[in-house]
Each structure stands twice: as C-alpha cells, then as structure tokens.
Chains A and B, each alone.
Chain A
C-alpha cells in the first residue's frame, strides 16, 4: 500500500500494540509498504518505507520496491527449499547406511542358514537308513528349521519364549498329536540362535516319540515341564520331557543325528547337562542348564 500521508488514513492509530507510531519513532507521513509473498501465497514479511514529508513516494518507487520484494520472496523460497533438500539428503543417507547394515546382516544369516541346511543334509544322508527314510528325515528337519525361523521372524529376530519355541516345534513335527504334548513352565526368554537349537532338539524328541515312543499310538502323552531356580547365580533352568502310555521303551542300538542333536547340541548351546533315560515306561529327557542370558 502507498499513502501520501499515513496519519490521515482512516485506519491509522487503530492497531494494537502502539495505536499509531510508538514514542520516539521517527516522524512518518509518506508511507509505502509492500508484502514479501512466498510462492504458495503466504506472507513471509514486508518492506516498509516512511518519510517525514507527505507525498514523497511515486508509482516508480512502488514498482521498484515491489520488484525487490518479489526477488526477496524468491530468495526466501530458495533458502527454504535448500534447507528441506539438505534434511532429505541427510535422511536418505541414514536410511542407505541402515540398508547396507541390513543387507550385510541378511547375507550373513542366509549364508549361515545355507550352511545349517548343508549340515542337516550331510548328517541326514550319512546313515545306514534306507534313502527314502533319510529323505523324509531331512525334509522334516528342514520343516522344523523353517518353523523356528518363522517364530524368530515374528519376534523381529530379537528373542523368543521357550514355551513358543517348544510349542511351535511340537506342532510342526507332530501335527494333530501335538494336542497330547502338555507344556508348562514359567516364561524363559531365549536369544535367537538358542531358540533354533531348542527347536531342532525338540523336533528330534518329537520325531522319536512319533516313531517309537508315546506319540506312536493313539493314547500316549508327553509332559514337558520346566522350572527356574533363582537360588543359584546365574539362575538355572531345569526341564523334563516325560513320555507315558507308549510302547515299552528299549534303548536304541545306534545313536544317530537325533541323539547327537538332543544330547550334545543342546548341552553345547546351553552349556549344561542333557540326559536321555530310556526307561521302559517312557523316554525321559532331563535338561539342567544355566538360564540363557536375555539379550
């Protein structure tokens, strides 16, 4: 807006906070004000000119100041765009760095999983069992490994509960017969790798129960019960897998991958003791280990 004498303007002196010119303000009569408008129409600020004498600002002055205001608006808009671009670049760089980490971690896990599959294949087929049986055993072990991975994926690969690791492995191996496996015990948190070893060991216990033990008939049951003893530091986990109602148990003549996985792998992973007792009334597996440290 332009005014030859702002003090004569009907709007003059009505506005908060000064209602006219503040005290000690240089005297102003001629007044020229031009808004600096952003591209999106919002007012960024304004250019304000005053003169003590009336009618000092002309059309040319107004045009010139409007031009400067337009330039200033462009400069402000550009600065804003630049700042936004910098923020976006920084965000992208962070995300890219996270992606590189994720890809490396994924690569490691895939290679490790392939190595585990190779280990399962090597041990499943190095046997005096008929090829068809070895193939079936290998397939079932892959299925158990996949079930363990599903469980960990649900937990973002951070941790899993012992109860879930056991339940999932039992359901994957035993199907409907899983209803005859009763699990009870307090919450125990497992780090990811330990959860996989548990799942694979439980899978072998289930497979054995289905073939020779309590799950080989229609009525046998399995009870998995565990307790945590806080008396010791670090606390200890005591777990019993007890089969009942199956055919009379005989100790196996040969030890294969199953007992290796149950007796040695679990003991190694848990740094504890794992014992298989082939009692005539039913197989018992007793685990006494340091409680896994939560991650």
Chain B
C-alpha cells in the first residue's frame, strides 16, 4: 500500500519520536508510523510505502543505512536526523539532508520538502 501523505519515523527515543510526530502532523502529514528499531522500520515498509521518512542515524548503536537503502529502492524521499554534529555518511547518502538535533519545525519542513 502506498500512502502519499504518510511519514515513517525511525527514532529510538520515544520523547523525540512524539515531538517529531507532532511536528509532522502540524506540517500536514498523516498517518505517522513510528519505528523504534531497525526491524520495526522494515516491518512497517513491508506493510506500507510512506510518502517520506525521517531516520535517526544511530538506532541503539546500529546505523540506519540499511533502512535508507530500502527507501532508495522504493523511491521514498527521506532525511537523516542525528545528535552527532559531524556525521559522515557513506558515499551513497552524501547528498541526503541531515537534521542536527535539536532542530526546529521550520528546519524539518525545509529539509523534508527539499527532499520530496
């Protein structure tokens, strides 16, 4: 199933996931799917193809690039979010926008719409 206005959130910190969910709803996206583990993100993707995605880079010590690759295959636009100021992405994802936590709703809007 393809949901054009939905967004997949991959974020392992629930408080941050909720804040991001609120921002995305404010920006007009719905429904929002929250995954807190890499596996959950894949399960969600096997179910629905969202209109966009926001991926935390470091999920309980594991990088989310595997999920990013799956999004590229499905042509789903996405942005990264990270607490690391100097995240060095692999070559494939060099051009993907990265939001540095904490970010504002406006920064999220600009990054997401530029990706879409």
Tell me which of B12-20, B46-54, B67-75, B89-97 binds A. B12-20
Interface centre among B17, B18, B37, B84 (most CB of A within 10 A): B18
The answer to whether A118 touches B83 (Cβ under 8 A) is no
The answer to whether A114 touches B102 (Cβ under 8 A) is yes
Cα(A47)–Cα(B15), bound, Å: 77
Which listed residue, A111, A200, A271, touches B15 by the CB 8 Å rule?
A200
Contact with B along A261-278 (1 / 0, CB 8 A): 100111011010000000
A-B contact count (CB 8 A): 68
Q: Does A58 contact B (CB under 8 A)?
A: no
Q: Does A225 contact B (CB under 8 A)?
A: no
Q: Does A119 contact B (CB under 8 A)?
A: yes
Cα(A126)–Cα(B22), bound, Å: 10
Contact with B along A14-48 (1 / 0, CB 8 A): 00000000000000000000000000000000000
Chain A count of residues within 8 A CB distance of the other chain = 28
Which listed residue, B17, B84, B85, B100, touches A268 by the CB 8 Å rule?
B17
| Chain B, interface residues (CB within 8 Å), range | 20 to 34
The answer to whether A112 touches B15 (Cβ under 8 A) is no
Q: Describe A's contact surface by its main secondary structure.
A: helix
The answer to whether A122 touches B36 (Cβ under 8 A) is no
The answer to whether B101 touches A115 (Cβ under 8 A) is yes
Q: Does B60 contact A (CB under 8 A)?
A: yes
Q: Which residues from chain B contact A193 at a C-beta distance below 8 Å?
A: 12-13, 60
Q: Which residues from chain B contact A265 at a C-beta distance below 8 Å?
A: 14-15, 18
Q: Does B24 contact A (CB under 8 A)?
A: no
The answer to whether A122 touches B13 (Cβ under 8 A) is no
Q: Which of A271-289 contact B (CB under 8 A)?
A: 271
The answer to whether B36 touches A123 (Cβ under 8 A) is no
The answer to whether B14 touches A111 (Cβ under 8 A) is no
The answer to whether B34 touches A268 (Cβ under 8 A) is yes
Cα(A197)–Cα(B12), bound, Å: 11
The answer to whether B22 touches A269 (Cβ under 8 A) is no
With contact pairs A111-B102, A193-B12 given, residues A119 and B18 touching in the complex (Cβ less than 8 Å) = yes
| Closest CB in chain B relative to A192 CB, distance in Å | 11
The answer to whether B22 touches A123 (Cβ under 8 A) is yes
Closest to A118 in B: B102
Q: Which residues from chain B contact A112 at a C-beta distance below 8 Å?
A: 13, 16, 83, 101
Cα(A186)–Cα(B107), bound, Å: 46
The answer to whether B101 touches A197 (Cβ under 8 A) is no
Q: Does A249 contact B (CB under 8 A)?
A: no
Chain A residues packing against B (C-beta within 8 Å): 104, 107-109, 111-112, 114-120, 122-123, 126, 193, 197, 200, 257, 260-261, 264-266, 268-269, 271
A/B interface sample: 19 pairs, CB < 8 A: A111-B83, A112-B16, A112-B83, A112-B101, A114-B101, A115-B16, A115-B101, A115-B102, A119-B15, A119-B18, A123-B18, A193-B60, A261-B15, A264-B18, A268-B14, A268-B17, A268-B36, A269-B14, A269-B36
